[in-house]
Amino acid sequence: MAKPTPGRKPRKKAAPDNDQVAVFGHHAVTSLLKHRSSQVFSLWVLEGRRDAPIQALLDTASQLGLAVESKTRDELDQQTAGVHQGILAWAKPRQAGSESELENLLATTQKSPLLLVLDGVTDPHNLGACLRSAEAAGVDAVIVPRDKSAGLNATVRKVACGAAETLPLIQVTNLARTLRSLADYGIWIIGTSGDTETLIYQADLTRPVALVMGAEGKGMRRLTREHCDQLVRLPMAGEVSSLNVSVASGVSLYEAVRQRLPQAALAE
């Protein structure tokens, strides 16, 4: 068990309740402690686990004065909907961000931004799955319209498996206006559509990019489409005409990951 740093009084242990969410996995918990440590209540760690990644998290928790509890695998399994890797944090639920948070993120990022824009995805399962894929792919933020889109409810959080607590979800009042403003940051808007001959593999995804995915069934709205700098499509070799939006998002984002990986990594 990690011991508190001398002179730093541990925070009062808070029993998990409806005002707390479970964030699990090394990457998600590390990101949570780095960016939202003041909103973390406590950590649960698998009893007997003290490997280097776990110990690094426990050292950080000790420095922050967080309570740490050892739990059995069954206890961790009961609180998670995915692979917890022996670590779980209880935290205050993250709320959707605004245009100002997006502007601050773009103004301060040190890498080529990768954004995911969801134009009217109303199914919370799809939104949760998109958040999970986006977080895994290293997306900087997911942008959705405030109206006619799923919000951060319990279903989204559960399906996202912790991604909803670490990845910014930005709700904007006017999506078309937001897409126009992205040009001020040098971001190339790439929309996905079946009405183009250009495959996503032919697009340059190493530049600052916002990938735009349309709603379930309807695709992108006309005004959203008009604000795209380029349209691309995924190849469809079978009888099915389109993919689920969360699947299409995952495929598209990981093409961006592939293009952005160093050549040495691709050769391994």
Considering only residues 6 and 217, tell me which one the structure prediction assigns the higher pLDDT: 217
For residues 18, 124, 126 and 209, what is the CA-based torsion angle, rounded to 10 degrees?
-90
* pLDDT for 229 beyond 80: yes
Phi, psi of 97, deg, nearest 5: -90, 175
Work out the burial of residue 146: count CB atoms within 10 Å of its CB; fewer than 13 is exposed, 13-18 middle, 19 or more buried. Answer: middle
Residue 14: the pLDDT is: 45
Q: Count the Cβ atoms, other than its own, within 10 Å of residue 235.
A: 8
Phi, psi of 130, deg, nearest 5: -65, -40
* pLDDT for 151 beyond 60: yes
For the segment 140-161, the average pLDDT, to the nearest whole number, is 88
Residue 17: the pLDDT is: 60
pLDDT band at 121 (very low <50, low <70, confident <90, very high): very high
Confirm if 114 and 139 have CB atoms less than 8 A apart: yes
Considering only residues 37 and 161, tell me which one the structure prediction assigns the higher pLDDT: 37
Share of the chain above pLDDT 70, in %: 90
Name the pTM for this structure.
0.78
For the segment 237-263, the average pLDDT, to the nearest whole number, is 88
Segment holding 115, helix H or strand E: strand 114-119
For residues 17, 162, 121 and 238, what is the CA-based torsion angle, rounded to 10 degrees?
-140
Task: Give just the sign of the alpha carbon dihedral 233, 235, 239, 240.
Answer: negative
Convert the pLDDT of each residue in 10-32 to its tens digit.
444 444 666 888 888 888 888 88
Confirm if 213 and 116 have CB atoms less than 8 A apart: yes
Convert the pLDDT of each residue in 78-119 to its tens digit.
988 778 899 999 999 888 999 999 999 999 988 999 999 999
- Mean pLDDT of the chain, nearest integer: 88
Domains of the chain: 21-91 (3.30.1330.30), 99-267 (3.40.1280.10)
Distance CA 36, CA 23 (A): 12
